[in-house]
Structure 1
Amino acid sequence: MVGEEPGERPGGGAWPRERRTLVVDEVDSPDSIPAPYALLSESVRAGVPLEFEPHTHRLHELVWVRGGTMTVRLPDRVVTVPDGYGIWMPAGTVHSGRTTARAHLYDALFEPARSPAVSPESMVVEVTPLLGALLTHLQIDGLAQGERLRAEAVVFDLLASAERSFDLRVPRAERVGPIVTALLDDPTDRRTLREWSALVGVSERSVARLFRTHTGLTFSQWRQALVIHHALSLLAEGLAVQDVSDLCGFAQPSTFIAAFKRVMGTTPGAYVADRES
């Protein structure tokens, strides 16, 4: 089922819902794939942002985008999936997600019983031109059995964890749950650690310790990384660095550029140029 959200407000994803977002609250997917085949590939271009409520599949899933960015929320982390990358999720993985307006969404489902071992854990996959072309080719109806099986075999050969991943661990401690939820809904919320601690009734020391224990980052580092993940989606929509800096709450672009480089290892301009190439 799909509903339209005309305004901008927090949703079930990882930041404020964009205008004209189509909310998919029930995902209809097959429970199995007819033998002897192992995968089913499909794609959709909605022309508006999509938001998928939390759900699972009985099949393994590889989902990726072209021309935009997707954000996927897993139980223990948030993953930003830019153009050229995808995320592999084993059967039964609870997840939700959002795509930006310009994203062309691709999805492949894999029959566990006929899928060679890929990964028992969710992972980011680089969707190379060859892998993308094969999965797109497999969308064609009426492929001869031998042709389809050969293409599927090469797909499995190409599936591997990407060298870099755009994910951020999410604290799963109940005591800081309200803080995590609020910041996922709005990463630009500038309340201080003291204010957040007072909100949840937990000492600053304990909040700081829980973030460090569960994510390996200080509270400040985690929040800044979350803001940069939000910035990736804005950059994917073609916004200028100055505009993204403003929307992410930075006082000046130079501060944003420095923060972006600390998290991503490159500047926003270089990141965009690399994606476009």
Structure 2
Amino acid sequence: MRAASPAARPRTSRETRTLPALAPGAVEVPFVIRCYDEVVAHDTTWNEHSHPFHELLWNQRGASTAVVGARVWTITPTLGLWMPAGTLHSGSAIAGTWFRASFFGLSGTTSISDIPVAVEITPLLRLLLERLGEPRLSAASRSVTEAMVLDVLTPSSRELLLNVPVSDLLRPIAEAVREDPRDQRTLANWAAELGVSPRTITRAFTAETGTSFGRWVAAVRAQHAVGLLTRGWEVEAVAERVGYRSASAFGAAFRRTTGLTPGTFRTR
């Protein structure tokens, strides 16, 4: 049986959480790495904020998003996001998402990047971070485990990142495709609707997103697909929902975009 579509998902109340914007080191923290996790009971959004420490975001279950400016990352059980201290960001997660956050104090740690970067949550890294969450971990074991985390924590070349165009020309396209990834309008279709040449749209997409219209649409579909896969949807149903005629076509496009297979993200 196929999973229910998003429209059929039971309505839940929405919660908005407000956090402060703090500069790096603005608050002294007495830890090297501290872990936090929560299953959100409601569709939840976090306002734009920043932390005085570095943060690694990842999920035990489900998919969530983090937004920095016009860049939108999808966070999953296999792809996390490193958020450097002081970086303004907002976020969202749907009800039932089990998210995890690991906080890295500025003293005793070195940032793996000065800008947000994806981090592959390998089985080893997952085990180490879960171990740090054990309440009875001895000080000696904690120190060894923290050192191992810092040793294996590296940026990943794979990421679910979308650069969202904000110009008046491209905004209608971005809003339509993000609202419904099944939208089949081509570059020529959009050019005719907007009264410009296809070349004008092509140049604008390259300038604003760093990629072509076709690759940008594929990235939107991949991000939307991950959210469905992590909620247990069958691959065939996801392919149809995000605008592909077959599961094989969807799989090929998904691998080209993310470097991973749809099955990597599917919750069983």
Select between 113-122 and 83-92 the one with higher mean Cα deviation.
113-122
Matching of residue 88 in structure 1 with residue 82 in structure 2: yes
CA contact 1:21–1:51 (8 Å) conserved in 2 = no
Secondary structure at the counterpart of residue 211 of structure 2: coil
CA contact 1:100–1:233 (8 Å) conserved in 2 = no
Select between 197-206 and 150-159 the one with higher mean Cα deviation.
197-206
Q: Aligned to 1:225, which of 219, 222, 226?
A: 219
> Equivalent residue for 1:24?
16
Matching of residue 105 in structure 1 with residue 99 in structure 2: yes
Distance apart, 1:196 and its partner CA: 4.8
Q: Aligned to 2:148, which of 150, 154, 160?
A: 154
CA contact 1:175–1:202 (8 Å) conserved in 2 = no
Distance 1:212 1:254 in 2: 28
- Normalising by structure 1, what TM-score? 0.74
CA contact 2:19–2:48 (8 Å) conserved in 1 = no
Matching of residue 60 in structure 1 with residue 60 in structure 2: no
CA contact 1:58–1:92 (8 Å) conserved in 2 = yes
CA RMSD, Structure 1 to Structure 2 (Å): 3.5
Select between 208-217 and 134-143 the one with higher mean Cα deviation.
134-143
Select between 200-209 and 210-219 the one with higher mean Cα deviation.
200-209
Distance 1:58 1:183 in 2: 36
Distance 2:37 2:170 in 1: 37
Secondary structure at the counterpart of residue 112 of structure 1: coil
Q: 1:18 to 1:226 in 2, by over 3 A?
A: farther
Residues 229-260 of structure 1 deviation map (CA, whole Å, 9 limit, x = unaligned): 21111111111123212322334545434433
> Equivalent residue for 1:77?
71
Distance apart, 1:184 and its partner CA: 3.5
Distance 1:201 1:18 in 2: 40
Distance apart, 1:194 and its partner CA: 5.6
Aligned residues: 259
Distance apart, 1:26 and its partner CA: 1.2
Q: 1:258 to 1:133 in 2, by over 3 A?
A: closer
Distance 1:43 1:59 in 2: 17
* Residue type of the alignment partner of 1:24: T
Matches within 5 A, 1:154-233: 154-171=148-165, 173=167, 175-193=169-187, 196=190, 204-233=198-227
CA contact 1:101–1:237 (8 Å) conserved in 2 = no
Distance apart, 1:226 and its partner CA: 0.9
Q: 1:206 to 1:113 in 2, by over 3 A?
A: farther
Q: Aligned to 2:34, which of 29, 34, 40?
A: 40
Distance 1:255 1:146 in 2: 51
> Equivalent residue for 1:4?
none
Unpaired runs of 5+ in structure 2?
A: 1-5
- Normalising by structure 2, what TM-score? 0.77
Matches within 5 A, 1:5-16: none
> Equivalent residue for 2:229?
235
Q: Aligned to 1:137, which of 124, 131, 134?
A: 131
* Residue type of the alignment partner of 1:34: V
Distance 1:147 1:252 in 2: 50
**Identity level (%):** 33
Unpaired runs of 5+ in structure 1?
A: 1-7, 10-16
Q: 1:178 to 1:89 in 2, by over 3 A?
A: farther
Q: 1:197 to 1:24 in 2, by over 3 A?
A: farther
Distance apart, 1:77 and its partner CA: 2.6
CA contact 2:112–2:155 (8 Å) conserved in 1 = no
* Residue type of the alignment partner of 2:156: A
CA contact 1:71–1:99 (8 Å) conserved in 2 = yes
CA contact 1:29–1:57 (8 Å) conserved in 2 = yes
